[in-house]
Amino acid sequence: MLSKRIIPCLDVRAGKLTKGVKFQGNIDIGDPVDAARLYYEQGADEIVFYDITASAEGRSILLDVVRRVAERIFIPFSVGGGIRTVEDMRQVILAGAEKVSVNTEAVQNPEIITEGAKAFGSQCIVLGMDVRRTNLGSDIPSGYEMVIHGGRTATGLDALGWAREAERLGAGEICLNSIDADGTQSGYEIDLTRLISSHVGIPVIASGGAGKPEHILEVLTRGEADAALVASMVHYRTHTIEEIKAFLHDRGVAARMHW
């Protein structure tokens, strides 16, 4: 039986973590390579790096981070943020990432999904979706709208329609982030996750709102997510990956318990 994945997400700017990761004794770790290694040791099933630098210089620092991570951790990891072309994808994949994620770029230029899938296979292409609940009476059928530029720009695009379209174009996985829940630590957006996950044939990673293990349990069961992204709750050491997995395992959710 396939295990549900727990995936820590690390935000990187110019090669440094934007939020420190705290470990034993609350030592702040600013190096994404060390943080990735520690999560690997704790049993993370995969790691997501999200690069929030835009400059060319920042990009080459990021590629160096990706190379150093690939030498030291032997689980899959993905890199997103600022990937605009197939050549950007190639550089990140050759540096050692398994997957690349595209978000704003894919909304503006959907062909990048197809081109990326052709060049590297669908399993490499993750569609990142930032989604916001719409107000009553809007003309978005699913009630959820795609937003881009980190949540600053509304697109008028129906989230469910876009998810299905991206699957058709060749996306191999969806990382679904609720802008409404993001950063609240009060739980994932369950209805949104179930809506998308039950209408596509590719895996869905739920993102945004994780604050305690119960939230993760809920999104993996009632929300029908295949994987859960976690950030603050593990970065600030309120919870560890090990503890989250033990919690899930004890409640009958398939989780990888040996690493």
Partner 1 sequence: MIGIVDYRAGNLTSVARALDYLNESCVITQDFHLLDGASHIIFPGVGAAGQAMANLRQSGLDRHLRRWVQEGKPVLGICLGTQVIFDHSEEGDTPCLGILSGTVRRFRADLQPDGRRLKIPHMGWNRVAFRRDHPVFAGLPETAEFYFVHAFYPAPAEERWAVGWTDYGVRFCSAVARRNLVAVQFHPEKSGRPGLAILANFCRWEGTHAQ
Q: How is residue 131 written in tokens? A: 């989604």
Any catalytic annotation for residue 158?
no
**186 counts as binding partner 1 under rule CB under 8 A:** no
- State the nearest-atom distance from the C-beta of 226 to partner 1, in Å: 7
Residue 102 sits at φ, ψ, to 5 deg, of -125, 140
Which residue, chain included where needed, has tokens 């992204």? 229
Compare residues 127 and 179 and give the one whose CB is closer to partner 1. 127
Largest Cα–Cα separation, the chain: 52
Residue 119 sits at φ, ψ, to 5 deg, of -75, -35
**Segment near partner 1 (CB under 8 A); pick from 1-9, 100-108, 133-141, 185-193:** 1-9
**224 counts as binding partner 1 under rule CB under 8 A:** yes
**207 counts as binding partner 1 under rule CB under 8 A:** no
8 Å CB contact between 252 and 14: no
Distance (Å, rounded) from C-alpha 240 to C-alpha 223?
A: 22
The secondary structure element, H or E, covering residue 6 is strand 5-13
Any catalytic annotation for residue 130?
yes
| SS3 of the chain: helix, strand, coil, percent, to 5 | 40, 25, 35
Q: Which of 60, 64, 72, 153 binds partner 1 (CB under 8 A)?
A: 72
Compare residues 122 and 193 and give the one whose CB is closer to partner 1. 122
**201 counts as binding partner 1 under rule CB under 8 A:** yes
Interface residues toward partner 1, by CB under 8 A: 1-5, 40, 45, 70-72, 74-76, 93-94, 96, 98, 120-123, 172-173, 198, 201-203, 224, 226-227, 256-259
Catalytic residue IDs: 11, 130
